[in-house]
Structure 1
């Protein structure tokens, strides 16, 4: 068993270093990547020797006004409560243990304190006290986090910088300079990068005002396949197969498959699927489906249809749910099922292959999306065969088994939940 050294908070703070990262290559315009730094915030939690236990249940990281709670999803007990100001976003790091917290500092590493060690035909389980590890990838405006092909990529919208590391590098909760590579896109924009198994990266290009390009950036910095027919590019999802990725646009999505981009035709002139949700065991990608182009001062669209993209032939179908949803309503099940929470309080479970709703589960009280998306609203996350649903109105965390459509438990929370992610230590993302 790997034993973590015991360090005092003072020692950690004194040992904090600013690490300048050299760019791993130039952008398509020939510009070099700007430095990315990683350093330790002063609220770092000391490391401790892990304690062996009989099993570890999934843990939920939940933000609230003033911090982050780590909750044991088996009984609702609070494993840790971390004070932290500001609006915080939570992103699974992909290793079944850590979360990247988007904060004013950048992407901070949060350890949920669950460790699984394979040992022949069985596993050993350990726990430690959750907390921020002290590692942070500095970012002016931390944006999308994507895990794929054993790597994790983060995008700084404020500088257009992409930083990538092997997901396994987080085993010790730290990120050293030689574990990180970075490169710069042409201009700062709200972008995304997806590492591929072959060593290249799919990355967006654009500006703060306009973006419509996704291309394959090879390891040497050269550009391979490219699509410029993706206006408003936003949102991505990986699907079954090696390096199959879908991107949302405002004129129908684009799918990268077999080394090429394929446009997904849609009947509407304007069709945005900017929130996409994939599964490694399914060729189908679940999306939102908007068809009304936004106009300043007009009421935002609240669609009741969702989209299902078949990545094998780049086609899409829609499913009418009869009630609206928002971007935090979505998830995928262990067998590739789609789940969508709607305003009527129901969790809709879909079969993507038939584009049918197979089950509806009454989970939360009826709700509507708030005008400010940063205010608390119901949040859906999935891990394996289970969907976890928060209800800020009642301060509850609900657990639904996706395959059976059964509401298994409703746990009391001591805070009003906002953002959430759920980590099952036995599942790598």
Structure 2
């Protein structure tokens, strides 16, 4: 049956604030209560000025820094491998940990940073997607996902009002809600992933596309042109219709999209060797979503010799251009219109790719006119002026940085 979808308020699923205590019995992650108790920063919260916060995971904890000065504001202990996603409300970060998506209050308003007791319960928490004031959290372990207002955590206690959905089967998936309430969610099971379905604002399936093998990731470009990566190209959803754009190579896997709301050009990672080991990639690709109906192509840019990257090393700036953190230690400025590297700034020492994607390696996030770059080899993080390449601030960390998220 195609319509195995159900939609209901979270209360019907038994998702409530009390579900947050699910973490308390886990041995691979600190419980919310113990984390919060032990999370007081070395500098009293009263002396911390309000402002944007940068959060970084390391083995055993999460460091919270002033995003401008990169001075440490708090050090929050938490065990296990934990991922970070910006909540999009300027205050919170989602910690993808054992038990679900735990809410971290960064203290961007000048309050004391803390791992809160609020947890969106999930057996295998996965993708976090924000778009047009709505957030969707996907549980890979069940295929279930929930949608809610992005700013609903501000000034609230516990979980916000949720709308809950089910997939046909559990899989490593993703979903996004568009401005009119339409939801696109991936199709797959524990063995394979095949495509994307469309749900209207009442939860009824209206369309599906099932020829996107290994579908992964999503991105929403200008005019709500949606992209999903496939093993052999890109699947787009534009003006209510699916269009598949094939890769120029026999094997051309796209896994992640880097987009902005203003630019019709999507930048995607690109892998042309199915037998390549490790996480390093040597090509980027571009899709002009404004020309999908006119036969858009997947244009591939091969990077210079000695320059490779991982999915953590690409970002877009306010002008829509792309920035890539290469294994040569440089930030490379890419004009997405001409698809050329127009400038390169050395920032950190050259580095080698991780054997497994979970291992700590340099990462990048763009913050206005600056880039924030981690350097695991020196347990540090740098803020770089994108106009000049100058390192304007450096922060020392209590451990080797892995994931990072910005709350602004």
Normalized against structure 1, the TM-score is what? 0.83
Gaps of 5+ in 1: 1-25, 116-126, 425-429
* Gap change, CA 1:114 and 1:299, over 3 Å in 2: closer
Q: Residue 278 of structure 2 contacts residue 356 of structure 2 at CA under 8 Å; is this kept in 1?
A: no
CA contact (8 A) 2:384 2:393 kept: yes
Paired residues of 2:6 and 2:165 also in contact (CA < 8 A): no
SS at match of 1:114: coil
Aligned match of 1:159: 142
Deviation of residue 36 (structure 1)?
Answer: 5.7
Match status 1:196 vs 2:210? no
Partner of 2:154 in structure 1?
171
**Where is the helix percentage greater, Structure 1 or Structure 2?**
2
Shift of 1:113: 1.2
Equivalent of residue 364 in structure 1, options 327, 333, 348: 348
**For 2:132, which of 140, 149, 152 is the aligned residue?**
149
Equivalent-residue separation in structure 2 for 1:31 and 1:169 (angstroms): 23
Classify the secondary structure of the residue corresponding to 1:253.
strand
CA contact (8 A) 1:383 1:423 kept: no
CA distance in 1, matches of 2:271, 2:83: 24
1:88 to 82, 86, 89: 82
Q: Deviations over 1:285-334 (max 9, x none)?
A: 1111101224xxx6347431111121112332222222111111111111
Q: Counterpart of 1:260? A: 241
Deviations 1:27-81 (A, max 9, x none): 72256778363425324648x9x9799x744321010110101011333321111
Trace 1:102-117 onto structure 2 (pairs within 5 A): 102-115=96-109
Please list every run of 5 or more consecutive structure 2 residues that lacks an aligned counterpart in the other structure.
Answer: 22-31
Maintained 8 Å contact 2:63/2:397: no
Once residues 394 and 354 of structure 1 are traced to their aligned partners in structure 2, the CA distance between those partners, rounded to angstroms, is 35
What does 1:255-404 align with in structure 2 at a 5 Å threshold? 255-294=236-275, 299-300=277-278, 302-314=280-292, 315-322=297-304, 323-404=307-388
Give 3-state SS (helix, strand or coil) of 2:164's partner.
Answer: strand
Write the deviation string for residues 254-281 of structure 1: whole angstroms up to 9, x where unpaired: 1111111121232212111102111112
Query: 1:386 & 1:57 partners in 2: Cα distance?
Result: 16
Alignment RMSD: 2.4
Partner of 1:232, secondary structure, is coil
Separation of aligned partners in 2, 1:94 and 1:161? 21
TM-score, structure 2 as length reference: 0.87
- Could you tell me how far apart the structure 2 residues matched to 1:102 and 1:170 are? 17
**How many Å apart are 1:187 and its aligned residue?**
0.2
**Larger displacement relative to structure 2 (256-265 or 324-333):** 256-265
SS in 2 for 1:169: coil
